[in-house]
Amino acid sequence: MRSGNYYPLLQDYQLHVKGANPEGNRVWIELCRNNIFLEDAILGKGDTFVYTNNSTEILNLTVETIYSGADGVLVKFSPVYQYLDPKLPMPQSEIPSPDNSSDNNSSIPPLLENQAKGFDMPVLLLSIGAVFLVTGVFAGVYKKK
């Protein structure tokens, strides 16, 4: 990610790279949700940032590389783990890839929605119920013989 840019995460979280020190060995990151500040940290290469909400870990990332150049600062985070907050609505749409979000250069892969398109959970449950019903009917017929 470039300094000054942000990366959108699931459940309306955003990870911002605010800047770096002049030597380029420390970076300032900020986590927001719906553009409301949650937590920030100043990290060096190899440092880990963990955000928890009510004892539930939501985000865990490690700074892999910090590059400071004439065009600003580039930061690579790896690994990056985001866990869904059970108190928030489940995400239903795809997060835009870094190529689509404000000239972003991030190592975080795009995250996909949690349900396949065209998949209908009620129909699946009704189908499973029908299989059990038919199995029960045939089991009863064979038990009488």
Query: Is residue 109 a part of any domain in this protein?
Result: no
Q: Is the pTM of this model over 0.75?
A: no
* pLDDT at residue 108 greater than cutoff 60: no
Query: Is residue 126 a part of any domain in this protein?
Result: yes
Domain containing residue 47: CATH number: 2.60.98.40
- Mark whether 74 and 36 lie in a shared domain: yes
Residue numbers of the domain that contains 11: 6-100
Question: How confident is the model over 23-39, as pLDDT tens digits?
Answer: 888 999 999 999 999 99
Q: H or E stretch including 24? A: none
* pLDDT at residue 45 greater than cutoff 70: yes
Q: How far, rounded to the nearest angstrom, does the alpha carbon of residue 27 sit from its chain's CA centroid?
A: 21
Question: How confident is the model over 59-104, as pLDDT tens digits?
Answer: 999 999 998 877 778 899 999 999 998 888 888 765 555 554 444 4
